[in-house]
Amino acid sequence: MNDIRLLYVSKLKSTANSMNELYNILTEALNFNGPNRIYGALYYGNNYFVQCLEGEKDTVEHLFYKKILRDPRHENCEILSLENIETRIFTDWHMKYAIFHKEVLNFFSEHHLDDFNPYLLNLKTIPLFIELLSKQPDGFETLKIQDSELDSTA
């Protein structure tokens, strides 16, 4: 098995409805990742994305270079970490949505990174952040409810 873990960050391009875009991105990720055996988590806050992807090397690289980098909703995509792995830590989720959470904010504060800005992660904090991300609850159902409420008010 030739599995990798890729952690990247990006910024959401300006949009009228960021929650709708986030829901669409997560839905597309679930539809692609399941059949392609890609696992991971997406965290969104302050208009930043940080996403951890795990899976077979060629498949994850295809997803990142052919889809994510070309997605017009992302800008300033940057790989923070790319490593070969023996064990996946996100196997329960083809794409977990980790809700903007106090533990993550505390993590950034404790590591002198101030507000949530994933571009500030470094070699020391990346593994700690990935571990924290793996422990966050999945908030996709909450996001679906918020998105449907937005649609009903439109």
- pLDDT tens digits, residue range 92-106? 888 888 876 788 888
In a domain, 45, yes or no: yes
- pLDDT tens digits, residue range 56-98? 999 999 999 999 999 998 999 999 999 999 999 998 888 888 8
CATH number, domain with residue 72: 3.30.70.100
8 backbone φψ class: left, alpha, beta (φ>0; ψ -120 to 50): beta
pLDDT at 100: 67
pTM of the entire predicted model: 0.86
What are the residue ranges of helices labelled H in 13-154? 18-33, 57-62, 102-110, 125-135, 140-153
In a domain, 116, yes or no: yes
Three-state SS at 111: coil
- Per the structure, the count of domains in the chain is 1
In a domain, 151, yes or no: no
In a domain, 153, yes or no: no
The token duo for 152 is 């009903």
9 vs 119: CA distance, rounded Å: 7
The domain containing residue 100 runs over which residues? 3-146
Contact of 21 with 12, CB cutoff 8 Å:
yes
In a domain, 66, yes or no: yes
